[in-house]
Chain A
Amino acid sequence: MNSLIRVIKSVDLDLKENFITFPFYIISRPFKGFSELKYENRGKHYFAYVMMVLMCLFSIMNELYRGFVLSGGYYVENKTVNTPYVILMTLAPVALFVTANWCVTAITDGNGKMIDIFMVYAYAAYPKLLLSIIGLLVSNIVAVDEAAFASFFYSFGSVAFAFYLFIGLIVIHEYTFTKSIIMIILTIAAMSIIVFVIALFLSLSNEVIVFLRTVLKEVTLRL
């Protein structure tokens, strides 16, 4: 019990500092911000986990409430959203990127740990989340020729995300610029390899399962 209280007390629950001040500090001074994240422990692990939850929530909201104009003119009464699928499609890229980047940097003298990469991802996704929320709100009050205003927020968010992710990775791995670019290319390659291996595994295991099932059926028929 005492240890649990200690753990709870050890969690720094300064929400304003962790969810507003520091992320915005990173947005305004990315290099300084990310180095403070790594060397002065200013970033909090729970921020990253909360970010994942928020991203999932936002993806679901985005599916449900995106304006008629921005969803390509598709409308259906009683819209259903496949929530597990949406959550998977939000979290899978995170897992994939973090794993692939860790795999690549671990063998090319990168100094970042896996948790660092994950934190960088979460902090880089923060401006994207904010901009996308604005985009989602705006998408409900625009007509078709103003749709660019809403999609601007979405695409600007993606650009900002890529920008901050890149800077964050440079800082935590302590790479030079050219080496970082090579690292990014290798990461993309590693991601494709992982996806390929997963697809291969799934299809092969499917064959095995079908084979076993057929054998079982044959055996039961003969008995």
Chain B
Amino acid sequence: MKTSCRNLMPILKIVLSVLMFCIMLNQDVFASDITSYTYYRSGSDKNDYYPVPAPCPYNYVRSVYAKDLGVDSLFELTGIFVSDEYVYISSGGTIIITDHDFRTKHVITEISVNGEKQALTKINGLWATKEGELYACEPGKGRILHFNSDWTLKRILGKPEGILLSSDISYEPLKVAVDSVGRIYAAANNVYEGLIEINPDGTFSRYFGVVHVKFTAAQLFWRSLQTEIQRAKSATWLPVNFSNLTIDKDDFVYATVAGSGESEPIRKLNAKGTNILRYPVSTGIKPHGDLYVNKFGAVIKTGESTLTAIDVNKYGIYVVLDTKRNRIFAYDDDGYMLYAFGDAGITEGRFQTPVDIRFMDDDKLIIADRGNMSIEVYKLNDYGSSIHKAVMYQYDSDYRMAAEEWRKVLDYNPSFQYAYVGVGKALYRDGDYKSAQEYFKKGQDIDYYSEAFRKNRHEFFRDKFSIFFAAVVVILLIASSWKIYCKIKLYRSKGAAIK
């Protein structure tokens, strides 16, 4: 008996090790060990949101360095843009054009103006239109360059007539975006009136999406006490500049405002220039990066997130980049936070000085990291792609398919509250109001909860109406008969007294 056991031991060991290996393989497939979190509401107060760990929606794929692109260096990396075909990278005085696998197709380092060659100075924001025409900002020379689809210079858009700047302040366009009919939107340094909208022919159209100056009553009070000289010496209140912008497929401009503590740092601007970004009304929390931040501290980062880059995909998911804490936040079309990841550091999933962020293909996210002099490529894993698919189905109003994806998301991350709401919506559509109510409750969404609750209440009263009615009748009967009994008793005793 003993010997047979001993003979079995090596086989057992092999089986066990194979099993272990399988488990390890499995883990590798669905989740990465990058730290990520979502916010979880745990308190009746409106601001009781705390980060809870979540699986990271992205797996690290690769870092693309200068040598992979065949250029000298990427230490002046400023912006990236992804079109259907190419990836455009601006670094110092070069624009690198590669395909989606980062094989370099073309490098622009100089332009020819009136027959004479000019080396490019620091290029910042990039934008390529559907036709493949490239726009690039050259803030040092105060102009936006417009290239043909074969990357030869088409025209130069200098400072538009109509922008009033004093002579000692230069016009520096930093970021550019072009909509489907060719209107150019630019965010520029020293222009405080908002984004600059330029007509397709290059003339100035208007300022777009003005950021208003915010001040508190206390500030106003102290300012009223100051003398004229003091006022002249104290810092002027200027509205915060737009830090970055992008345009979605419906020509809405998404822009970020970098001012820390801004109440609406992410804006979706309609044609009129007003902010129409949706946010969950039941909680009233506008998308603004981290909800729970350190307010005081000497060596740690304090205050609200500073958002400096934004990109939106075709079903309304937008990602923003927080350069204060090197984090990336994603929101869906309704303004619910989907995930957050990233931190300062040099390991995978961490960034040193991220400057720009773009979606690539359907499942990739690329981040330009100037500190690391690389372009970091991340790919959605099972968890992340479930979130994205769920949002996509929701965007197309296919709630049943979305619920299936949300259930998968919940398997990975049971503390993802928005997923419960997603499942609840499908249950509500299918008429299962009881379960829907439970799911909405778990998702802590009052509005949807109320809808389901109303249906349940209605059903309850309709079913139990006969019982209520019978109870009321019985109570009335008992009460009236008791009164009659009392009266008879009184009458009898009176009669007895008379006798």
Contacts and interface: CB of A to CB of B under 8 A. Distances in A.
B457 interface: yes
A76 B283 contact: no
Contacts of B42: 74, 76
B33 interface: no
Interface stretch (B6-14, B43-51, B104-112): B43-51
B457 A144 contact: no
Among B282, B283, B449, the one with the most A-chain Cβ atoms within 10 Å of its Cβ is B449
Interface stretch (A19-27, A65-73, A103-111, A178-186): A65-73
A73 B446 contact: yes
Contacts of A74: 41-44, 48, 444
A69 B450 CA distance: 8
A52 B451 CA distance: 38
Interface residues of B, number: 21
B327 interface: no
Contacts of A40: none
Nearest to B446: A73
Contact of A145 (B441, B445, B450): B450
B45 A144 contact: no
A68 B441 contact: yes
A75 B48 CA distance: 12
B46 A72 contact: yes
Nearest to A71: B44
B45 A72 contact: yes
A68 B449 contact: yes
B43 A141 contact: no
Given A74-B44, A74-B48, A68 B446 contact: yes
A216 to B, nearest CB: 32
Contacts of A144: 282, 446-447, 449-450
A143 interface: yes
Interface in A133-169: 141, 143-145
Given A68-B441, A143-B450, A145-B450, A73 B283 contact: yes
A72 B44 contact: yes
Contact of B457 (A68, A72, A141, A145): A141
A72 B43 CA distance: 9
Contacts of A68: 441, 446, 449
A222 B403 CA distance: 68
Contacts of B451: 143
Nearest to B48: A74
A163 B441 CA distance: 37
Nearest to A73: B446
Interface string A70-106: 0111111000000000000000000000000000000
A68 B454 CA distance: 13
A75 B442 CA distance: 7
B165 to A, nearest CB: 48
Contacts of B453: 69, 143
Nearest to A75: B441
A73 B421 CA distance: 13
B37 to A, nearest CB: 19
Interface string B263-305: 0000000000000000000110000000000000000000000
A71 B46 CA distance: 10
Given A74-B444, A75-B442, A69 B449 contact: yes
Interface string B446-480: 11011101100100000000000000000000000
A103 to B, nearest CB: 34
A73 B457 contact: no
B446 A69 contact: yes
A75 B444 contact: yes
Contact of B444 (A73, A143, A145): A73
Contacts of B283: 73
Contacts of B44: 71-72, 74
A163 to B, nearest CB: 28
A216 B453 CA distance: 61
A76 to B, nearest CB: 7
A73 B45 CA distance: 9
Contacts of A69: 446, 449-450, 453
Interface in A31-85: 68-69, 71-76
A75 B453 CA distance: 15
Nearest to B449: A68
A164 to B, nearest CB: 28
A72 B42 CA distance: 11
A54 B216 CA distance: 44
A44 B441 CA distance: 45
Interface in B27-62: 41-46, 48
B442 A143 contact: no
A71 to B, nearest CB: 5
Contact of B449 (A73, A76, A145): A73
Contacts of A143: 450-451, 453-454, 457
Nearest to B453: A143
Contacts of B444: 73-75
B461 to A, nearest CB: 10
Given A72-B45, A74-B42, 5 more contacts: A68-B441, A71-B44, A73-B283, A75-B444, A144-B450
Interface of A: 68-69, 71-76, 141, 143-145
Which 10 A-B pairs rank lowest in CB-CB distance, beginning with the nearest? A143-B450, A73-B446, A144-B450, A74-B44, A72-B44, A143-B454, A144-B446, A75-B441, A71-B44, A73-B444
14 contacts: A68-B441, A69-B446, A72-B44, A72-B446, A73-B41, A73-B445, A73-B449, A74-B444, A76-B42, A141-B457, A143-B451, A143-B453, A144-B447, A145-B450
Interface of B: 41-46, 48, 282-283, 441-442, 444-447, 449-451, 453-454, 457
